[in-house]
Structure 1
Amino acid sequence: MPRPIRARIRLDAVRHNYRQAKALAPDARALAVVKANAYGHGAVAVARALADEADGFAVAYLEEGLELRESSIRAPILLLDGVFSPDEMRILDRAGLTPVIHSRLQLEWLLGARPERPLDCWLKMDSGMHRMGFAPGDFAAAYAQLAECRHVRSVVLMSHFARADEPDHDYTAQQMRVFAEATAALCAPRSLSNSAAVLAWPRAHGDWTRPGIMLYGASPFEGAHGSTASLRPAMTLESALISVRDLDPGEPVGYGGRFVCERPTRVGVAAVGYADGYPRHAPDGTPVAVRGRITRIVGRVSMDLVTLDLTGIEDAAIGAPVELWGGQISANAVAEASGTIAYQLFTNINRRVPLIYEDD
């Protein structure tokens, strides 16, 4: 019998969430962000599930784009990090991929390329994230060089928000003003919106949006936000109980004895641990569901195992199903308890966890 852990991926939920992104920005096209193996959900499977309706896809770097092309994905594919050497320009050209240009060096590589066909590209401005992109004062000149280049077919103007997941903070509005002022005289499509901006900043939607985490049914916001209510979780991380025991008050549980029973306690062990991607730093009290009933983690998460409080769940025997996150336990709730974000939970899922795809 195989180890019971698995991640069930609902492809119909991914499609639903993509449609929600399109409905929120009906005048914009949307690139489905499938970098980092579609946030742990499987880039090829997710892209194929969206192939008939996605306006395009976004990945981080060349190899991720080539994986999609080799899997018969024909839609536009944007490389968010651009290329890392001039040699990659030739490979990108043959594969029909679209680079982001965010530095003077990348601009020189593109202008000096000799592609077989005209290239599309996106030009990135640093409007306040201060991570990558041309300074606002240098942006128009960079655009002019691309616009005048005979082997550049089209340019999309883009930037990235630093605090769009804080809807009450004015920094996003400030970045929008910086971008608008620096691009006022430029005639080209624009792209600003990540998931948080799609959900909370309608004035930022522009011509292209870039939904990422929302495709997978998780919220980009720390607190509650009404716009996320219609999203459907795409991943259910589940396992099963492999051990059950009764402990007396005063008995410790797990490495370091972090949890000590305050009462007679029924403790179960589920086959999942930090080597599977579950957060080692999840504290006592992190929610989990056993046989559909919500309970909590007790004791430190181990490499392969986690201990759970089964007190009051009398029918929780060996083999009982355990949901770590999914439809009943939100990934955001686990992330908040563990001091991290759902993005990290999803992308930490590794090859020890089989991905099981379901589609209505």
Structure 2
Amino acid sequence: MARPLIADIDLDALRHNYLLARSLAPDSQAVAVLKADAYGHGLVACARALAGLAPAFAVACLEEAEVLREAGITAPVVLLEGIFEASELERVEALGLWMAVHSDWQVEALLAYRPARPIPVWLKVDSGMHRLGFAPERAEAAWQRLAAAPGHACDLHLMSHFATADLVDRHYLERQMGRLASLAERLGAPLCLANSPATLACPEAHGAWNRPGVMLYGSDPLEAANAASRRLLPVMTLRSAIIAVRDLPAGEPVGYGGRWTTPRPSRIGVVAAGYGDGYDRHAVDGTPVLVAGRRTAIAGKVSMDMLTVDLTDIPEADIGSEVVLWGRAAGGEVLSVDEVARHCDTISYTLLTGVLPRVPRRYHGHS
């Protein structure tokens, strides 16, 4: 019998979340962000599920784009970090990719290259995130150089990234948008600005293209959920089972270091899942799990291959009972990955992308 830990991937939920993103911005196109192995969900499987819905995909690097092309994905693919060296331009052209341009050296490399067909460029502006991109006062010159070089770039867009679109406080978001508005107006440039939180909550940021990412996988990126984000469906269910049960008296320590001690006579369940699978070792006592469709909590430190949960108030739970670490239980109960992440002092992105390869992905839904 195989170890019971599985990452169930609901491709119908993925498509639902993409269609939600599209419905929130009907005048925009939505590029589906598939970087980091589709946030841990499986790059090729998710691309195939969204083929025919998404007009384009986005990844971080050339290697991810090559995997999509090798799998037969023909839709446009945007390299969100562009190229890392000039020699990559040959592959960019051969694979028909689009690319972000965020640095002077990338402009120079592109202008020095002689493509047989123009390469679509999304010029990145640093409007306040201060990672990648041209300062607004320098972006116009880069744009004009690319626009004036026939045969080098086509379908020029401006793109930027928001630092605080997830927050209730809109002050800095408005400051970033203000920096972009006059630049886009002067250039007559189509914009790609909205990430997941801006897609969900900032219609004024919707441009020619939006870039929904983590929302596609059912995670709510907003500081305060809204009506739209409550419609997201979980795509990944990290599911395991109870493999042993211990009956302990009050006052017994459980797990490494004895961090948790039984406050009463307790039933402790051992679950086949641990940090060697990607479950966060920093999960505190009280981190929620679903056992047999009922909420309970982690009791004791997470080990490499196992963790322990309190079964005292779930008398029907026994060896073989389903354990949902996040996602949807067999009976329909849902435990949000966002809630689990808060107990681990992290974010859902870390949990989803951290599920390791030894955990089998099982796909269902869209064929």
The TM-score by the shorter chain falls in which range?
over 0.9
Which structure 2 residues correspond to residues 153-302 of structure 1 after superposition, within 5 A? 153-302=154-303
- Tell me which amino acid in the other structure corresponds to 1:343: Y
Answer yes or no: is 1:356 the counterpart of 2:357. no
The alpha-carbon deviation at position 317 of structure 1 amounts to 1.1
Higher mean alpha-carbon deviation, 232-241 vs 147-156, is at 147-156
Give, in whole Å, the separation in 2 of the partners of 1:85 and 1:313: 57
Normalising by the residue count of structure 2, what TM-score does the alignment of the two structures yield?
0.97
- Tell me which amino acid in the other structure corresponds to 1:337: H
Q: SS where residue 245 of structure 2 aligns?
A: strand
The alpha-carbon deviation at position 168 of structure 1 amounts to 2.3
Aligned to 1:51: 51
Aligned to 2:38: 38
- Tell me which amino acid in the other structure corresponds to 2:91: I
Residues 48-80 of structure 1, C-alpha deviations (whole Å, 9 max, x = no match): 001011010000000001111111111110000
Aligned to 1:138: 138
Which structure 2 residues correspond to residues 49-198 of structure 1 after superposition, within 5 A? 49-151=49-151, 152-198=153-199
The alpha-carbon deviation at position 87 of structure 1 amounts to 0.5
The alpha-carbon deviation at position 226 of structure 1 amounts to 2.6
Q: C-alpha root-mean-square deviation of aligned residues, in Å?
A: 0.9
**Conserved 8 A contact 1:167-1:200:** no
**Conserved 8 A contact 1:98-1:121:** yes
The alpha-carbon deviation at position 94 of structure 1 amounts to 0.3
Give, in whole Å, the separation in 1 of the partners of 2:224 and 2:202: 16
**Conserved 8 A contact 1:198-1:209:** yes
The alpha-carbon deviation at position 187 of structure 1 amounts to 2.0
- Tell me which amino acid in the other structure corresponds to 2:27: D
**Conserved 8 A contact 2:184-2:190:** no
Give, in whole Å, the separation in 1 of the partners of 2:126 and 2:132: 6
Residues 242-286 of structure 1, C-alpha deviations (whole Å, 9 max, x = no match): 110111111000000000111001000000001111110000000
The alpha-carbon deviation at position 169 of structure 1 amounts to 3.0
- Tell me which amino acid in the other structure corresponds to 1:38: A
Residues 75-120 of structure 1, C-alpha deviations (whole Å, 9 max, x = no match): 1100001000011001111001111000001111111111121111
**Conserved 8 A contact 1:99-1:122:** yes
Aligned length, in residue pairs: 360
Give, in whole Å, the separation in 1 of the partners of 2:226 and 2:280: 25
Higher mean alpha-carbon deviation, 215-224 vs 89-98, is at 215-224
- Tell me which amino acid in the other structure corresponds to 2:129: M
Give, in whole Å, the separation in 2 of the partners of 1:300 and 1:116: 58
Residues 178-236 of structure 1, C-alpha deviations (whole Å, 9 max, x = no match): 01122221123111000000011100001100000110011012333332111110010
Structure 2 unmatched runs, 5+: 329-333
- Tell me which amino acid in the other structure corresponds to 2:315: E
Structure 1 unmatched runs, 5+: none
Q: SS where residue 274 of structure 1 aligns?
A: coil
Runs of 4+ deviating beyond 6 Å: none
Q: SS where residue 186 of structure 2 aligns?
A: coil
**Conserved 8 A contact 1:190-1:206:** yes
Normalising by the residue count of structure 1, what TM-score does the alignment of the two structures yield?
0.99
**Conserved 8 A contact 1:94-1:116:** no
**Conserved 8 A contact 1:140-1:183:** no
- Tell me which amino acid in the other structure corresponds to 1:123: L
Aligned to 1:345: 351
**Conserved 8 A contact 1:31-1:210:** yes
